[in-house]
Amino acid sequence: MAVSVLVVEDDRNIAELLQLYLQKEGYAVTLAFDGGEGLAKFRSLKPDLVLLDVMMPVMDGHAVCRTIRAEGQTPVIMLTAKGETDDKVSGLKAGADDYITKPFEMREVLARIEAVLRRSDCTGAAPKARRLVFDNLVIDMDAFELNIKGEKVDAPPKEMELLFYLASSPNRVYTRNQLLDEVWGFDYFGDSRTVDVHVKRLREKLEGASNRWSLKTVWGVGYKFEVL
């Protein structure tokens, strides 16, 4: 049975975009457009997970989250347009399991949903490996963190996704078009130079980290994460 997700978001464009992508990944999605409707649908549908906007009419997301948490342990991920620490802390204090700041990338949303569901064991499926460890390198997609030589290094989501994808299959060569399809998705209309730019930025971050692996160019083909 598909994992059910309730999206409570008053911006219909965002709600419908989330529904489109989540359904593409196999989730059963229900939409609600204000806090009151969201709470009513939560009680009637008993979803496996709730994606919950903060600023909404009728009831704000924090109030809805507190009510959900008072009634059970259904995982809740807050969606907030604010990036301030206080707003994130408020969401976590209300009982949220995680938060995502708008504007967000859909692959980050999907990764965080998978991580929260694994922690709550709602899917009943074996967890996927989302943390890769190499010499002086840790790629943690659950936390969206890149650690190089013991230090956390800031990296945008697409750089993280590209590195994780390559490192998930060491020594396998991928063409630029394959990487565009798998990392950027079917709806991306840019050109292959986007991959080159992201690889260049990753190399700058990874330079000198280890002589046991490297991000290699295979001339005339594409790229690979080479492990020696």
Secondary structure of 95-136 in HEC code, one letter for each residue: CCCEEEECCCCHHHHHHHHHHHHHHHCCCCCCCCCCEEEECC
pLDDT at res. 126: 46
pLDDT at res. 46: 92
Single pTM value for the model: 0.55
pLDDT at res. 203: 95
In the numeric block, the tokens 């906007």 are attached to: 53
Cα–Cα nearest to 27, from 114, 118, 128, 144: 114
CA distances to 16, 184, 195, 207, 215 from 222, rounded to whole Å, are 35, 16, 9, 19, 11
Q: How many CB atoms lie within 10 A of CB 181?
A: 13
Instruction: Look up residue 225 and give its two tokens.
Output: 């994460």
pLDDT at res. 146: 94
pLDDT at res. 88: 63
| Residue range 153-186, pLDDT digits in tens | 998 888 998 999 999 889 999 998 888 877 876 4
Low-confidence ranges of the chain (pLDDT < 50): 123-127, 186-187
